[in-house]
């Protein structure tokens, strides 16, 4: 099984459980919080990824750490993921879960990437425009990329709108190369 399929299989399993119990959003919220906790602290991440720690000890630790802090579905799921030695895939599982929830809710994800934060007003304008074009609700995330010269990139599901300065310069370069100005034309 490929690495990409592993996260999809686990995400589908918890998505089906959450759908049966009518807890799609709360499951996503709990799962997101736990993944943030597990991966934001380097010592926790190293503990669960270490081959030196006994797998049954990892499972007990995971069970104790989520018991009472998450619903039964999420707590059991985290314990299962640790038991099956799939801890490394938790972030990918969460992303695949979100994609599944979005698909069920007829919602798209919009990721706005810019050099600096655009501000709430600009993000709201972009969101409103994209919502009217695609006719769907959006899950909006904003991300900064210091390598951009200026402008922004919009990622809507698998669709890219590149309004960055770099893309515009590349377009100008391509247009100039397509002109094929003959040698000696300017002499």
pLDDT at position 92 is 92
Q: Tally the residues of the chain.
A: 187
Q: What is the pLDDT of residues 127-161, one digit of tens each?
A: 898 888 878 888 888 888 888 888 889 888 878 88
Cβ-contact 97, 28 below 8 angstroms: yes
pLDDT at position 106 is 84
pLDDT at position 15 is 93
Q: What is the pLDDT of residues 89-127, one digit of tens each?
A: 999 999 999 889 888 888 888 888 988 888 889 889 988
**Distance between CA 102 and CA 57 in Å, rounded?**
35
Cβ-contact 150, 165 below 8 angstroms: yes
Residue 3: which pLDDT band, with cuts at 50, 70 and 90? low
Fold observed for domain 3-103: Peroxidase; domain 1 (1.10.520)
DSSP codes of every residue in 66-100: HBTTB-HHHHHHHHHHHHTT-GGGHHHHHHHHHHH
| Start-end of CATH 3.40.30 domains in the chain | 107-178
Residue 180: which pLDDT band, with cuts at 50, 70 and 90? low
pLDDT at position 181 is 59
**CATH class, range 107-178:** alpha beta
Q: How far is CA 8 from CA 2, 13, 47, 90, 168, in A?
A: 10, 9, 24, 11, 36
Q: What is the pLDDT of residues 39-75, one digit of tens each?
A: 998 998 999 999 998 999 999 998 998 888 888 899 9
Q: Which of 143, 145, 134 minimizes the C-alpha distance to 167?
A: 145
| Start-end of CATH 1.10.520.20 domains in the chain | 3-103
């Amino acid at each position: 099984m490929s690495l990409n399929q592993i996260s999809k299989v686990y995400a589908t399993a918890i998505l089906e459980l959450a759908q049966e119990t009518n807890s799609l959003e709360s499951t996503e919220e709990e799962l997101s919080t736990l993944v943030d906790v597990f991966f934001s602290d380097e010592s926790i991440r190293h503990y669960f990824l270490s081959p030196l720690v006994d797998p049954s000890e990892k499972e007990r630790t995971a069970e104790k750490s989520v018991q009472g802090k998450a619903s039964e579905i999420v707590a059991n799921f985290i314990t299962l993921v640790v038991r099956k030695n799939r801890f490394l895939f938790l972030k990918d599982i969460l992303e695949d879960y979100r994609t599944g929830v979005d698909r069920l809710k007829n919602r798209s994800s919009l990721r706005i990437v810019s050099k600096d934060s655009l501000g709430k007003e600009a993000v709201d304008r972009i969101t409103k425009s994209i919502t009217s074009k695609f006719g769907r609700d959006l899950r909006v995330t904003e991300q900064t990329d210091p390598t951009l010269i200026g402008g922004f990139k919009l990622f809507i599901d698998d669709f890219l709108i590149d309004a960055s300065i770099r893309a515009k310069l590349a377009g100008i370069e391509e247009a100039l190369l397509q002109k094929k100005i003959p040698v000696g034309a300017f002499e």
